[in-house]
Structures are given as structure tokens and as C-alpha cells.
Amino acid sequence: MNTEKKELSRRSFLKGTALGAAALAGSGVLAGCTAKQAVDSGLPENWDKETDIIVVGFGGAGASAAIAAREAGAEVVILEKQGVMGGSTATSGGLVYAAGTSVQKANGIEDSADKMFEHYMNAGNGFNDPALSRLAADASAGNIEKLIALGATFPSAPSVAGAEYHVGSEPIARVHSVVYGELSGGGAYFRVLEDGARNAGAEVLEETEAKELVVDGSKQVVGVKAVKAGTEMFIKARKGVILTTGGFTRSEEMLRAYSEQAFYCQPLGAPNLTGDGLKMAFALGAAASNIHEVLGCPGLTLPGKIAATYAFWTFGTAPAILVNANGERFVNEFGFYDWKNTELLKQPGRFSFSVFDAATRDAAPGMIVTGFSEDLEQEVADGIVLKADTLAELAEKMGVPADRFEATIAKYNEDCAAGVDTLFGRPFLLTPIETGPFYAFKTFPTMFDTMGGLKINENAQVIDVWGNVISRLYAAGNVAGGVLGEHYTGSGSALNAGMTFGFIAGKHASTLEALA
């Protein structure tokens, strides 16, 4: 998706309200799976497979749901449409946002679920469900203990996310980095939960794509129609179906319909986030919650790289500045990444340039962008990075006004000399841009995943547009909305929410009376 070529009017977007979701339930966005078809499809003559609980999607939330269900004694089948497991979880940083944990206490950090909840409400700005945010805060310490019990370690002290500074919350070190054996990052976090689910006895059907929720005459969800190796199969869920399919960053149709800001972002991370769970639930009249929000950072995609290895720059590794199409700075480059992404979306053309000099190139070899060469010559030859001997020449290559650009650099260098960023309060790496050659590369809004989705209650049950529970249907992870609001609360918040409501869904579904 080429961000520069987007010319859609703001009025062309349907905001993600519950009624908007219902209105689109019968449109092309749902790819032929309408509410009437779902309700009238009836039951299959024969089920190809039966289990207590079907989990659709094998990422962190799905694995958590499976673990909880198995611990409650339920039989579990996980459907994963890819041959590679993990989804957004595996491509994440493997961080968990949590308060009042044993890891914090061991490092002398005082914190509480109450303070974390307060931050959720500050960042949510009225767009999150307080009951759901409260549960996520309260469960976070237990989630860390569960990971430890499953074999994870946390050898480094928790860190401050940085989002707190933007919304007036107390900056407390809550970001926990998972290590599992020799693995770190998202791979470690998912492997802990994957092993936990498999060891608990959950059955995993790989390369099996869920296509439709099967309902009975009472409109309760009783199974899933899926396709494996081109063959259609019907799987019965005696107790319930849990959707953990992630967001919809790879569905241009859904982005166009539900989220303007996401539509203008380049997708990072998992390539399979096509909104499957959302479509299936919308077909049953499910409501949406905060579906228009997106989680991302200023970045770029590299030619020839697959989705999972897209590169981005969080500006925490080397001194540089961001300038817009007018040649002017517009943000604290060391602010929280999701906040910078939001500001970038407001700029002319919805793009900017990352600008730095030879001194930065030499001081941070290989750290400008993950995947860039150390001397940047390959990227210059490929046209990804612009290089010039003077600032005026660089401005010409960038296509920005040279006088404004040179004035921007002069002001920035002046502030660097004084040690104070008078424009945006940047606190770190105030290093002047003065040593040629000078460099710039185009930087776009990106997204790791969408940040809202299906409306759920405190039991992780999916709610319809009339406020009623859709019987025996659950959702957890980024397919569900409500925990997070207008602003992302900090690195690891999505993983914590996925664990929290995955565990809740798996446990609650296991308590239901099994269908005959």
C-alpha cells in the first residue's frame, strides 16, 4: 500500500461505531459472509471433528486461552491459518506492561495495579472501557508470574515506556522484557505460551483457515466452518469459540471502512492480519469498540523484505531529526513512538524525512534502521537514502524549501549548543547536524496492528449491537477492543491485554454446559 498515493476524503470513511459495524455486516467487506447467511446456514449433517473449545488464531492471546481452558479440564482445538505460528505476538518486541510484579519488587520499583489503571484511564481519554482496563491492570502481575511458572525469565530491570509523559501519568518502570532459554523478544514471549498450550494438551491444526461461525436455531455459536488443504471441514465446539485472530492491518477494504489513520499507515509485522475474526463476528451482528485506533511508529519498509522483517527506526539509537514536507520539525523525536506516529499522520502528505549527518552515520553503524548497511552506500545507490554534500543540495533532493530547511537545521544546532530544545523539549541526544555529507530518508506512519475491535464484556464474551451477549462466542487480543483507548499506554500493553482476556475467555468458556 503506497501511502503517498492515498487521496481519499475524510468523509469517505465510516468511523468504527457499533452501528457502522452492523451496517457493513452485509457489505463486500465481509466477503460474502453475511449475518443472514450465517444464521440461516443451519447445522452440517455431520461434524468432521468435535471438541469443547475452538480457539481461532494461535498467537499470544490464543495460546493463553488454550492454556486456561486446558487447566479447567476442557478439550481444546486451535485453528491457525498459517504454517508459521505467533502472529503479531511473535513479531513484537516481547515486552509485557505490568504493575506490582515480583520483578519490579526485586529491582526496588514500587508500583500498583491502581496506578497502572489510573494511567490506562489517562491515556484512554474516554475511549476505553474502565471495567476492561481495570481487569488488565489487576491481572498484569499474575500474568508475569504465569510466564515465570511456564519457564520465562526477566533478567533485566523493567523500564519506563514513555507514554506516561504525554498524558500526565507518573512514569513508572513497568515494561518487562521476556527471555525464554536462548530466545528473547517476541519469539521468546510466544514460545513460552506456545509450549504452555501444547504441553497442556491443546491440539493445533496448522494451515487451517476458519471461514465462518456456525450457529444453531437459537443463534448460539456451536462451531466453525474451516478449510484445510482446499477441503472444507466443520468442527463442533461443545462449549464455545474464542476468536484471537488479531487486527486487520492487511485488509485494505477494512482499513478503508473503519480506520482513516490506519489506512494511511504502512503495515509492519504479521502478514496475515486480514480481519478474519472481525468479519465472522460482524456477520452475527457483533458491535465494535475503538476500532479506528492504530498502534505504530514512524518508519519505512525496505524493498525485498518480507512483512515480518520490515525495518523501522524508533529514534532511540542515534541522533537525528524529523522534518515534514515544509522542511520543518514537528515533534520531539524521542517522544513515545505511538505519539510520534499520530503527529506524523497530521503532516502534509502524511510523510516526513529523517535527517542526520556523517557524524551520526559513523557513531551508530547499522543502527540508523535495522537492515541498513553501516556506510549507507547501498541504500543511497538504491534510492532509499538521499545523500548530499550541502544542506541546500539535500533540500533539493528532498523536495522541501531550502531556506526553511536550512533555518530548521540552524535553529536545531543552536538549541544543541545551548543544551535545550526550545521547540519540542527533546531531552536526549541533542547533537548538531553539521558534518557533511548529509543524509535523509523518507519516513512514513506505520502500524504494528490495529488497537480496537470487537466489543467484549468482563468475561471476554462478544457483545452485539443491541448490547446482548452472542452466546458461546468470545474474543481476546487485538481482535477485541476496549482495554486501550485513544493513546497506547506503553510497550507491552497489548501483550498484557491478550494474556488477560485470553485467560479469562478460556476459563469462562470452560464453565459452560456442554452441548449434546
Same domain, 272 and 378: no
Same domain, 11 and 66: yes
Question: Is the pTM value of this prediction over 0.85?
Answer: yes
Same domain, 24 and 67: yes
Amino acid at 19: L
- Would you say 313 and 296 are in contact if contact means Cβ atoms under 8 Å apart? no
Parent domain of 351: 298-447
| E-strand stretches of 93-230 | 95-97, 175-177, 179-180, 183-184, 203-206, 208-215, 221-228
- Would you say 477 and 462 are in contact if contact means Cβ atoms under 8 Å apart? no
Same domain, 313 and 385: yes
Same domain, 454 and 332: no
Give a yes or no: residue 181 inside a domain: no
User: What is the 3 state secondary structure string of 277-337?
Assistant: HHHHHHCCCECEECCCCEECCEECCCCCCCHHHCCECCCCCCCCEEECCCCCECCCCCCCH
Which alpha helices (DSSP H) does 18-82 contain, by range? 18-23, 35-40, 60-71
Rounded Cα–Cα distance for residues 429 and 64 (Å): 40
What residues contact residue 122 under an 8 Å CB cut-off, 6+ apart?
Answer: 167, 168, 169
Q: Per mean pLDDT, which range of 62-66, 253-257, 303-307, 453-457 is the poorest?
A: 303-307
What's the pLDDT tens digit per position in 250-264? 999 999 999 999 999
Cα-Cα end-to-end distance for the chain: 47
Mean pLDDT of the chain: 89
Backbone angles phi and psi of 393, in degrees to 5? -65, -40
| pLDDT at 371 (0 to 100) | 75
Backbone angles phi and psi of 182, in degrees to 5? -95, 0
C-alpha cell at 341: 506516529
| pLDDT at 304 (0 to 100) | 61
Name the domain count of the chain.
2
Same domain, 401 and 458: no
| pLDDT at 15 (0 to 100) | 37
What's the pLDDT tens digit per position in 115-155? 999 999 999 999 999 999 999 999 999 999 999 999 999 99
Q: What three-state secondary structure class fits 352?
A: strand
Give a yes or no: residue 197 inside a domain: no
Give a yes or no: residue 122 inside a domain: no
Same domain, 316 and 242: no
